[in-house]
Structure 1
């Protein structure tokens, strides 16, 4: 922390912590008056907090950067016309030509000049500004900055994105960031309101090993073995990088790599490296992240002409995936035809999330794009319609019986249902969402999330899974929900059962244990109760089985959700919540502190599916018995 000398000023107060909003990769610069454009600065992203007498610089991962860039921190208080605000910006090192240079930052030579390019205002005088449109946030930021300060600089915006990209390429800069002028700031989320367009191919990679040096490098290494994370959480080899290192950097890297050495390859299978003998490869734990520039990706997923640029200690290893420019879902026509079936779409421009600018048409486009991985999780399961005709914040109603106007090409399944209130019995014709067109019909009818039974129509009394529904009480949050989720996993691992987590799309986590369809709902509920009760007893205050909200403390493990006729918001469902979060399948390695369920937006999920496929496919194929687990639990 850098403290002001004036100790008479008020001390720091508790305030919100902001994670930076992230841009999506795009292949080309968008056009039109709805966009403005900034240089993509090549440094360390930093949330800058000025509170009373203290300045703090925080990295994207929440690490303190204040001590690393003390000159910038000292200049912040001089450059701002307030003592209380939160900024978003990039700390950059300038090269001899005055350009932002990541290489200059890595070298950190004596006399290196560091600056902060400020480009957003998140809070001022205790009032958040994140819900204001971008143009207003920038106007207020510019008013707060003393433009005479040469260390804290206002990141200028331009109207001609193509010209800026061309100029960035000529000057050797990284690229351009395009931002919608009316966009809100979405902390910690990646959204299409911000797009990054690069002048050249460059991204982060994991270091999975190195080759022994030859000739002048015989005492060091020849190249780094590079990798990215791949489905389902493993590593994928992308090539070797043997250029871009100075002698000092090679020594620094070896000092960091040697403690990480391991006897076996972290890849499965072990990749073949042209002109490299197996004995000349030293494998390491893939914990270091480096920045690499390259000419292009080859057809087989290798890097052409990679060149090392430096280490990235501001990026987590589990975030390193191949960057792909994912276009937005194609706009839907007013009418869809599949063979002789016709679906006429209505009110495509209707605002379903007005504050996010998300329309009914956007929702339909998402579901159409995600249908190949979503529909298998809905097929042959009775579907309950939960309809929001006026968007997520408007009134809604449940409808189990298929509407009379539902087309005949959507299948139905009749079941006898008993009313809880009157105990009267009646026949309900449940819709079955067995294909893309049926799915889109439901969404067109106002269904935002998709609620289905745990069992299928051929064996309605035999559920396909046990559900552990983790629901935090008001006294705890998502961090505690993660803790309880990991306790559930530990318990399930102990009895030999595979499990699959997903965000609920709200504040909770769903954990599904897929089964062979030989167990009853009573058995699945009993098993869930045993596990939940054991965790609640050994972790009082953190986990609970108390169903009464008035008495509940901690994270509820709700065993009562395992019952015939109960429904669950399916994986890939958009939830009727602020921000349009999606119930998203997770790898267990991702279920840890810092996980943000709000980051799983529709576009982020489509990118994730494109990159990793269906992480919930195992729920459809895994067949397990509860018998051995119940016997082990006594």
Structure 2
């Protein structure tokens, strides 16, 4: 059975509060695992069944009548979650990447919904259900210490942290301040090289000595910044094709992004401010 997962609010900075627990935010794919009638079913957060993609999770030892929430990840050679490796495994049955289901919550236990219980009690249930093994593990957590935890995340180039109210209920299909994510964004200065026709998107480049290196498309920009762009870029147009309008690289901006992809592109770049 599918359960629509609880969603997270976003915050720019971590905080210290003993009323919250702190967990590592894992860079993978959200997964709901359900076992009823001794059959395991796997679903993405958008209710796409993906059971056949991960046969190793159909053999894990958990009791019947269980629904778990977690993140499925693939680690790189340093043991860090690698989203690109995860997507390779997700998209191709020929991929040899080994997956691990990192579980952080339980929604059904022994066939009964436990979403109404405080998070700490659900964590206790989870501890009794999951024995860490090759393909499944429990997500570790601490009381408070959000700032120090986030510092460690930044030092190690990980995705971020999650603050969760220790007494929070599991709010199915809702976004709540009880669960808050803090992303470890990187920042860089870039130039705008063009605009996509149709759906909004800006071509970005990074200045490197005597050339500009293309680093992908930015799709996130606030309305005021878009207005400023539209008032400036028309005089800078150099050419266009079926998909893009190209401009002189004279408009500079600061952007935030998750990380560089293996192809050298910015992952999910987002506008911060103009710098020229």
Q: TM-score normalized by structure 1?
A: 0.33
The answer to whether the 8 Å contact 2:64/2:111 transfers is: no
| Structure 1 pair 79–166 and aligned structure 2 pair: CA distance change class (3 A) | farther
**Residue 23 of structure 1: aligned partner:** 8
The correspondence for 1:134, drawn from 119, 123, 127, is: 119
The correspondence for 2:61, drawn from 79, 83, 95, is: 79
CA distance in 1, matches of 2:255, 2:220: 15
- Selected match of 1:146 from 109, 128, 131: 131
| Residue pair 1:43, 1:100 contacting (<8 A) in 2 also | yes
Pairing partner for 2:75 from 87, 94, 106? 94
CA shift for structure 1 position 50: 1.1
User: How far apart are residue 103 of structure 1 and its match?
Assistant: 2.6
Aligned partner of 1:227 among 219, 224, 227 = 219
Q: Secondary structure at the match of 2:5?
A: coil
Structure 2: distance between partners of 1:175 and 1:139 = 24
User: 1:337-348, aligned counterparts within 5 Å?
Assistant: none
C-alpha RMSD of the superposition: 3.9
Partner of 2:191: none
Quick one: distance in 1 between partners of 2:55 and 2:234?
Answer: 43
> Higher strand proportion, which one?
2
Partner of 2:85: 104
Question: Tell me, what secondary structure is at the counterpart of 1:142?
Answer: helix
Q: Distance in 2 between matches of 1:305 and 1:181?
A: 30
Deviation at 1:308, TM superposition (A): 5.5
How far apart are the structure 1 equivalents of 2:260 and 2:55? Answer: 27
Uncovered stretches (5+) of structure 1, i.e. residues with no partner? 1-14, 212-221, 239-267, 285-299, 311-319, 325-634
Bigger relative CO (Cα 8 Å, ≥ 6 apart):
2
1:162 matched to 2:147? The reply is yes
What secondary structure is seen at the aligned counterpart in 1 of 2:123?
helix
Tell me which residue corresponds to 1:116: 101
Q: Secondary structure of the equivalent of 2:52?
A: coil
SS of the aligned residue for 2:169 comes to coil
Measure, in 2, the Cα distance between the counterparts of 1:42 and 1:85: 24
Distance 1:273 1:46 in 2: 45
Q: Which residue of 2 aligns with 1:192?
A: 177
The alpha-carbon distance between structure 1 residues 54 and 304, as it changes in their structure 2 partners (threshold 3 A), is: same
Distance in 2, Cα, partners of 1:305 & 1:281: 28
8 Å Cα contact 2:17/2:146 also seen in 1: no
Matched positions, count: 237
Larger radius of gyration: 1
C-alpha contact 2:159 2:184 (8 A) present in aligned 1:
yes
Q: How does 1:480-519 map to 2 (within 5 A)?
A: none
Q: Find the counterpart in structure 1 of residue 238 from structure 2.
A: 277
- Once the two structures are superposed, the pairs formed by residues 64-463 of structure 1 within 5 Å of their partners are 64-71=49-56, 73-74=57-58, 77-80=59-62, 82-108=63-89, 110-147=95-132, 149-159=133-143, 160-201=145-186, 208=200, 224-228=216-220, 272=233, 277-280=238-241, 282-283=243-244, 302-304=253-255, 309=261
Q: Cα distance 1:301–1:179, how it changes in 2: closer, same or farther (>3 A)? A: farther
Write out per-residue CA displacement over residues 86-120 of structure 1, whole angstroms, 9 at most, x where no aligned residue: 11100111101111111322344843221111000
How many Å apart are 1:198 and its aligned residue? 1.9
C-alpha offsets along residues 316-362 of structure 1, whole Å, 9 cap, x if unaligned? xxxx9x799xxxxxxxxxxxxxxxxxxxxxxxxxxxxxxxxxxxxxx
2:37 is matched with 52
Deviation at 1:67, TM superposition (A): 2.8
1-structure distance, mates of 2:164, 2:7: 11
Q: How does 1:520-531 map to 2 (within 5 A)?
A: none
Cα distance in 2 between the residues matched to 1:35 and 1:86: 23
Could you say what secondary structure the match of 2:45 adopts?
coil
Q: For structure 2, which runs of at least 5 residues remain unmatched after alignment?
A: 188-197, 204-213, 246-250, 263-267
- Which of the pair is proportionally richer in helix? 1
1:33/1:273 Cα in 2 relative to 1: closer, same or farther (>3 Å)?
farther
Tell me the distance in 1 between the aligned counterparts of 2:123 and 2:81: 21
CA distance 1:271–1:60, shift in 2 (3 Å):
farther
Q: CA deviation at 1:24?
A: 1.2
Check the 8 A contact 1:158/1:164 in 2, yes or no.
Answer: no
